[in-house]
Structures are given as C-alpha cells and as structure tokens.
Structure 1
C-alpha cells in the first residue's frame, strides 16, 4: 500500500505538471485567436472567458492521455535512475505487480477522459457554436470599439471616437454599402454627433438612433450626391437573422451517435469511446519505455516515446476518416489500431522482462 501510494503520487504529480504546461500552451494559442477575432469586432470581449471554458473539455480529452503517458515515462525514469525500482524488484515486486499499480491510476484518468470525450466535449462544442452563431446573427453595435473602423453586420461599417458619461457614442460615422439585390445605386455615409442603440421590446427590432448629423447618398464614379440634414435619424438594424442549424456530428450526443447507423456517426462514436481505451494502451507501453540505464538519463527514451504516440494518434485519425468515408468497415472500425498498439505494448513488456532476467 505504501509503494502504491508512492508510485501513484509520483506519476500523478508529473502528469499534472505536464498537463498544465500543455494546457497553457494550447489554451494560450486559442485565446490569442479569439482575442484577435474580438478585436476585429466579431464578438464582444466579455464572452472570451465563457468560450475558453467550453473549450476546456475538448483540450483535456487530448492532453490527459499524452500527459499520463509522459508522466509514467518521466516518473519511472527518475526512479530507475535512482535505482529505486531496482530495490523494489529485489524486495519482491514483480514487473506484473508494477503494471497493476500503474493501471490503477490509469483507470481514474480513463474515467476523466471518458467523461470529457463522451459528454462534456460535445456539450461544450455545442454551447460554443451556439454562442458564436448568436453573435453572428445579431446586427449589434455593442461590439464597436472607439477609434477603429469596424463592420457590425448588414454591409455596415462604423467608426466612433468614444463614449460619453451616459454611454452614448460620440462622433459617429456609418457607411452602408449597397448589397447585391438591393434597389438603388447609392452607398450611404451618415455622420452624427451622438448615437445610441434602441431595442423595441414588442417586435425585437434594433435601431441605431443618431442625433445632429448629415446623411449622404453617393455613387462611386459620379459627382452628384444626395444630402440630408437631420436632428434625429433612426437607422433600422433589423431583426436577428435566421440562425444556421447546428447539426454537425461534433455537437451530437454520444447516445444519438450510437443509435445512428451512418458511417460518419459511427466513426465519431468510436473516436469518443476509444479515447479512454487509449489511456490504458499508453500506460502499458509507457512502463517498458521508462526503463533506462542510470547513465542514459531519464529523457533517453522520451523522443522515441513521442514518435510512438504520434504514430498511434495518426493511425487513429486515419482510421476515423476511413470509417467515416465508408472505405473501412464500421464493424472493425478503429479497434484494430488499438489492438495493434496493445499487442505492441505487451511485446515490449515481455521483451523488457526477458532482458531483465538475463
């Protein structure tokens, strides 16, 4: 029991450190991308945290198997370098028992990966897509930032210098480009001292109300133009556009995928169900790979291990594509890939035991 707690703690601590670094890198990259989109006015900055939270399960389902794999390599590699596992074997701990000890924390990690892949990831992806689609469906001026020309839907581009204490926009400039199919040849440029957005609760329509300004109707290449001076001008932003149907298999629940006989649905289901199994296969392969000579250092087999993981993941993705396209049987599915690397891991353990006996 003492050895089990000690080995489990070493593996999980190393796994947590690796997972934290990988998560920081991946989420940082996605955050920069979303922040750039928000700066362009695609959606408000205040929903960035929500988007990142809904993406977290999708990151974790891929990070945790790799982090656990590297955690075993680094933790056991350090124990081999310090001759601690040699002492354990001399005291009666067999390689088979060491494998059983390794598979117990692997079960906990596999459960966590399964919760993410089978439930949280599709739910988070659906929430993310719904939020982004909701922002795209709005013709809203709430995303405008002072000092920048930004599009806010309907072929409109706006510029504001800032906001006053009452929250009204100051020095507003709106350019309306004629859309294909619209009647008339004019493009409109509207300038106003102040402006604000107003929503009619009875109809749900949104309006941009402009005060003290001028409106010009111009046609590129012509000298004549129309000019209108106003004290108050209301520009209808319109109702929310019809949203696109979020019917991608990425957003479908796992139970619905199981009942769907479509090849693509079955490929998606097998991918989700195979990720927890991947944790056990990687744990079996990691134990013999972690065995290093003290003079080699615990990073000696890190590069071959990473190549092995990349090959495993690449074959899984290729199998998912083959099943989804109908080029490979859905009955066999992606399971031969898991079986191949499971057999490879067992052969590596057998070879390591024979080498140890010699």
Structure 2
C-alpha cells in the first residue's frame, strides 16, 4: 500500500500506472468469469449436440464447427455480465485492501476512477458490437444451413453399425458393418412404412448382403443400392405377403439440393434489419444495437455498487447487483418482444429501458459520491 501511495504521488506516471493497474485487475477478473460461464454454457450446448450425434441425427465430424460458430452468440451475452461482475469483484477487493482509500487520499476522484473504468468498457463494447451486429447472425446462419443440409441429405453415412436407426422418410435401418473406407455396407436391413393407393399402411422389410450409396449426376437424386437380398411386404390385417428376391435393388433417398429457405430474422444481416420497416425486424435490430450500449450502462452501475466496507466482504453487494442485472436483461427482452408484436411503438423501442438503468447508475454514483469514499 505504501508503494501504491508513492507511485500515485509521481505525477507524470501516476495516470498511466493507475490505468494499467485498474484495467489489469478488472480484465483479469472478467476473463476468469467469462471462462467459467463459457465453459458451463458451451458444455450444455455440446451435450445436446453430442446426444443428437449419438442418435445419428448429425455426424460427429461437424460438432467442432457448430460449437465454433455458436461462440459469438454466447459471447455477446456473457461479456457484458462478465465485465459487470469483473468490476464488482475487482473493485470490491480494492476496497477490502483499502487501496481505493489510498487513491482517494492521493487525489483520485470518483469521476476520474469512472473515466478509467470506461476505457476498458469501450474495448468490451466493441467486442460485443462485433458479435451482436455481425458475427452472431453469420454464425447462426452457418449452423442453421449446416443442420438443414444434414437433414436434407438423409445421408446413410450417419448410421452407426450395430444399431437400429431412423434415417428419414419413415425408414429404419440396421447395418452390420462398414468397409474400411466407409463406402460399402455389410448385412443391411431396412424397414419402411408407406401407403400404396389405399388406406392401409404397408410394411416393407428389405434385407441385403451389401449396400452402398450413389448420386445421380443429372438430377442430384441419391439412391441406396442393395445387392444380393430379399424384400418382404406385409399389411396388418391381411393374409397376403409379397416376396421379392433380387440381385440389385435401389431405394430413392431424396434430392441433395432440397433445402428449406432460411429466412428467419435471426439470420438476417444488420443492414437488412435496418432497411426493413417490419416491427419484428426493427426489434431485432434494436436488440443487437443495444447490447454494446448495455456494457457502458452496467459499468456505470457497477462502480458505486462495488463500494463495500472491509468488514462486509467483497461479496456483500454481489447478490443485489446480479438481481439488478437480471431485471435489466429481463425488461429488455420483454420490450423487444413487445416491439416485435406491435404492442410497443417502434419509435420508442428499447431505448427507454437503457435510459432508465442509465439514470439508476447516475443515481447510485451520486449517492456514493455524496457519502464519500472511505
């Protein structure tokens, strides 16, 4: 503490040293909080994707790509909260160690401390803006297109040997094993249900020694080609049974080019939302543009809330601060929904919410300065 007192009295270098010291404390704490929150959220999403891969809905090879493109969407929400908690915990520790008391004694005013805090807040706001305005919609579009492509392909390469699995079109398949290069299937069993011009559901069971997938270069249609097998057709409630022995039998899987249009506003670029007068588009644009502003508002709220008595502990005001953040985010989401549904005017939008919590921050700061920093 004596070293800090001596440094702050060295006027030419005190401002730079103070900035580096406070910024390092805040950013290190923010990085720790970000890592923990990111690990929890990404772990939960990874478990969901891994379950889908285990069911054969998506291939394991795209899991890494899906998680990578989800990262901006996680960061745009985690970084404001992590920076908010970083200020609370870092400054709270400084109050506990009476370091801010030394700064005040050396002439560091609360307004100057706020200016130092807003500098790293600007960096965090730029990162959040990059995520919310550009990276998040681009990543969401990439993941949606990837998953839609997997659904439209109905690729039999998704099937795992030794298991009964659904691979689209009302088909259930069982494969004994794959060849070393993964192109040839051994001991293939396929069950399919369908209607054949009447109201009865027909069940078809096909068994083959070998099978492989091929694509028509002219039409883009994909086929499952089975060799050396038999096909049985039965209808519940009827005594007739169909039997067909074949050397080569082909099942049409679908078109590789068939895909649904991805026109959700979640995937639209920020420029497209800005030029769209639809209330839902404007609500989405205001949500994206408001997230960087949220960083500055939270920084203003966090500084006075970080002031604690050494006997209270650094976590004394953490719970009220988290409740305030939850109220901020919940009210913001509620107004975004109201704007999108037309229940709240687009001209007002989400900005009154930011203004309200900005006033709360100035009120807390004024109250803290009025009491004085001890």
| Bin of the TM-score, shorter chain as denominator length | over 0.9
- For residue 127 of structure 1, the aligned residue among 137, 142, 146 is 142
Q: Secondary structure at the match of 1:161?
A: strand
Contact 1:140 1:153 in 2 (8 A): no
Residue 111 (structure 1) shift: 0.4
Q: Unaligned regions of 5+ residues in structure 2, if any? A: 1-15
Give the conservation status (yes or no) of the 8 Å contact 2:233–2:241: yes
Once residues 197 and 279 of structure 2 are traced to their aligned partners in structure 1, the CA distance between those partners, rounded to angstroms, is 40
Query: How many Å separate the matches in 2 of 1:326 and 1:69?
Result: 32
The 1-side partners of 2:20 and 2:197 are apart by 71
| 3-state SS of paired residue (1:37) | helix
Mapping of residues 175-214 of structure 1, within 5 Å: 175-178=191-194, 185-214=201-230
CA contact (8 A) 1:81 1:298 kept: yes
Q: Retained in 2: the 8 A contact 1:155–1:179?
A: no
* Range moving further from structure 2, 337-346 or 189-198: 189-198
Query: Which is further off, 201-210 or 256-265?
Result: 201-210
Q: Could you tell me which residue of structure 1 aligns to residue 238 of structure 2? A: 222
Q: Tell me the distance in 1 between the aligned counterparts of 2:144 and 2:198.
A: 30
Partners of 1:23 and 1:296 in 2: CA distance? 29
2:40 corresponds to: 25
Farther off after superposition, 154-163 or 92-101: 154-163
Q: How does 1:1-358 map to 2 (within 5 A)?
A: 1-167=16-182, 168-178=184-194, 185-240=201-256, 242-356=258-372
After TM superposition, the score normalised by the length of structure 1 is 0.96
Change (3 A) 1:256 1:222: same
Deviation above 4 Å: which 4+ runs of structure 1?
Answer: 179-185
Q: Deviations over 1:164-190 (max 9, x none)?
A: 335321211101110597897532100
Matched-pair contact (CA < 8 Å) for 1:211–1:230: yes
- 1:233 deviation in Å? 1.8
Q: Is the 8 A contact 1:285 1:345 kept in 2?
A: yes
Going from structure 1 to structure 2, the CA distance change for 1:229 and 1:152 (only over 3 Å counts) comes to same
Q: Distance in 1 between matches of 2:373 and 2:248?
A: 91
Change in CA separation of 1:182 and 1:345 when aligned onto 2, cut-off 3 Å: farther
| Structure 1 runs not aligned, ≥5 long | none
1:211 shift after superposition: 1.9
TM-score, L = length of structure 2:
0.92
Distance 1:33 1:9 in 2: 36
Q: How many residues align structurally?
A: 358
